[in-house]
Structure 1
Amino acid sequence: MTVSAGLALLHIFGVLIAAPVLPWAATASFALLLIYVAMPAGPAIDGDSRSLPLLVATAVLVVHAAATMPPASHGARALQWTPMLGNGEPEPLGVIGERVFRDACLALLVVTLLLAAVAGRGGAPRRRALMAGGTAVLLLTGYAAVRIVDVSVRTAEEAARSPARLGATVALVVAVPLAAGLVAVTVGMLSAQWSRTAMTGAALLAVASVGRMDAALSSLPLPYGVVAGNPLFSWTAVPFTSPVPGVVDAVRTGLEFAGILLVAAGVSHRAANGRVGEVQ
């Protein structure tokens, strides 16, 4: 797990400077994580079939990271790297939009598999976990609603189109990353009773989903002033001449890597010791 985390840091640093340090760092990191969760001391020790989703989620990440491994060198200001990402080559806007949507769907799949992995590991969420989860749901949906309305109204003003019609289109774009965030909140609520590690990882994945919402909106053919309006994860906050142009993408990538590693570690530890109601 330590080596996997170290390789993840190398990958994140490559995103930060918009040039891969080790092109295979993400693939190797997820491969080591797969070995970790498949070890006898990991989730399979109690013979519980519900540990299978964790193995499947990690295997999906390994395959996708290998299939989208970036080249050793490229001019990559348009990286938009994440743990589940394209190769960083400059692409037309429509292709970028398709890739962002595809990556968001993959993120939703992975976090759903993580939900299946934590389901049934302990009792029902406690009152405090439900209150925290409810607050997180309100924050995520509130942010999504504000961004949808803001983008729709401002685009309609500049393009003389119906805000309601634009809002429906924007809502569809935001729906997948929002769903991933809500599933991550559920993972946190279910794991809060028996693993603070997994709960923390789920919280990081929920925050990362906000970055995916902003990335999805940025991939739309919107006026510049609308895209650069008021997102939380704004690429316009970093000048193009900055020596670290990938700050925003690096933050999102780091959140997702840390979230996945922490949830996997928490679930593996829980399945290995097999004790109900114990908080790490």
Structure 2
Amino acid sequence: MSGTDVRVRAGRVGLQVILVFVAFVSLAPVAIILSIALKSNTELATNPLGLPNDWLLGNFVDAWNEAGIGRYILNSVIVAVPTLAIVVIASSLAGYAFALMRFRGREAIFTVFLIGLMLPAVSIVTALSFIEQNLGLYNTLPGLVLAESAICLPLAVFIMRAAFKDLPGELREAVFIDGGGEITAFLRVMFPLARPAVSATVVLTFLTVWNDYLIPLVLINTESLRTVPLGLAFLKTAFTSNTVLVAASTVLAAIPSIVIYALLQRQFIQGIAQGSIK
């Protein structure tokens, strides 16, 4: 074996060791939370980091009923699903227009979207609160849907524009030659080919909405309308002596995000890769 082969093999082994270490560091907190959620509070006091002796699945039932995490999950679903619909539809149409259509002010309008992408949410949350109070949408889930949609749209438009620019323009021109219009080209040809980017948009938007704490904190002040992040913060305060219940609630709250990513993982990675290449 030559010296070059030895160096290549050593480099691969070193990279694998680094990846294993990173995976361990990333998954260790998840394993600890899951372990805590399956213990009793008595066992947690004596064995905080070890595996549970008895797997108490009833803790999840208590988290759903006693802690009320189910209500917070339902509120988050009510916010996330309409937000996904608004963001996917609006960003797909806008991305198609910015990428393939020619109209006056196209670059200027797209620059406005990029500015929205660069602004942190904390810098506009006060203005959002003021606007929603004047529109009668403050402390309502529809108002939260509109606010989350506004926060997520700039990144979604950026991803969809890159995806449509990456597609062959000849496909769109072929539709025109066959007598079709922009709507036909968008719905029947270009949008189906952009499915990886759509999947990436869905995953990123869902995770942003599901994990967002700041926007609901400012726009929601009723306990029954709290989303998952607000609900978990409330449970941490209300059940300070019942760590197991809080851990079980955290595990339940994380399941929808894990399911969404698991279902769309392949297309999500493909969509992100396409956008980065372009």
- Same fold per TM (> 0.5)? no
Q: TM-score, normalised by structure 1?
A: 0.29
Which structure has more relative contact order (CA 8 Å, sep 6+)? It is 2
